[in-house]
Amino acid sequence: MLEKNYDCLVIGGGIAGLYCAKILVNSGKKVALIEKETLGGTALRWGALPVKIASDYFKNNSEDEFIPYYRKSLNKLEEKIDLLIQKSNLDLFYGEGEFIDENTFLVGEYLIKASHIVIATGTSPKSTKEFIIDKEKVITYKEAANFNQLKEKIIILGANVEGVELANVLSKLNKEIILVEKNI
């Protein structure tokens, strides 16, 4: 085990974790950031931002070049996030881990000790009794953000802002959309 010591440990490299780590570094703290998957989290990678990219695209363009445009936009985002990390004086670790005690977190071969720990891990989609996520017939926002793997008829569970925006974008890709909302 390699032991590392920090003022602050931020668990989760989504938008909240990234900005938290940046603010802490800018205030002079020694910071570690842990992300299990990809920096940017749901909002930037699969949620609000991709839907907004698509909405902006369809204001002036047709369906034909959407997928290359979308991929190029996400690549630019990745470059910006990488630049943010490079410019920040923080240590980045990838992987899932576990708490050893209230000030110690194990990730990979690193035992990270910190005086303060921020948990910014976000949420995850869950199956229900009626809808089991199989990533083929029942998919999550991550699969939906691929856009080019979608069926012709789509039911979106959740008519919140992101659900409605996604329905709008998908309708421009000539998909038949049904929005379902549990509570109004």
**C-alpha–C-alpha distance, residues 117 and 5, integer Å:** 12
Whether the per-residue pLDDT at 28 is higher than 90: the answer is yes
Element (H, E) at 142: helix 141-144
pLDDT bin (cut points 50, 70, 90) of residue 77 is confident
pLDDT of 184 strictly over 70: no
Which residues are 131's β-sheet partners? none
Domain 2-119: assigned CATH number:
3.50.50.60
Tell which residue, 77, 57, 79, 84, has the closest CA to residue 68.
Answer: 57
pLDDT over 70 (residue 178): yes
Instruction: Indicate the average pLDDT of the chain.
Output: 87
Mean pLDDT of 72-77: 85
- % residues pLDDT > 90 (the chain): 40
Tokens 């931020």, located at residue: 10
Task: Please indicate whether residue 43 or residue 8 has the higher confidence score (pLDDT).
Answer: 8
Burial (CB < 10 A; 0-12, 13-18, 19+), residue 39, is buried
> Which residue's structure tokens are 């003022």?
7
Asked if residue 88 lies in contact with residue 25, where contact means CB atoms within 8 angstroms, the answer is yes
Distance separating alpha carbons of residues 70 and 52, to the nearest angstrom = 10
Residue bearing the bigger pLDDT, 31 or 48 = 31
pLDDT band for 96, please (50, 70, 90 cuts): very high
pLDDT of residue 16: 92
**Position 19 pLDDT exceeds 70:** yes
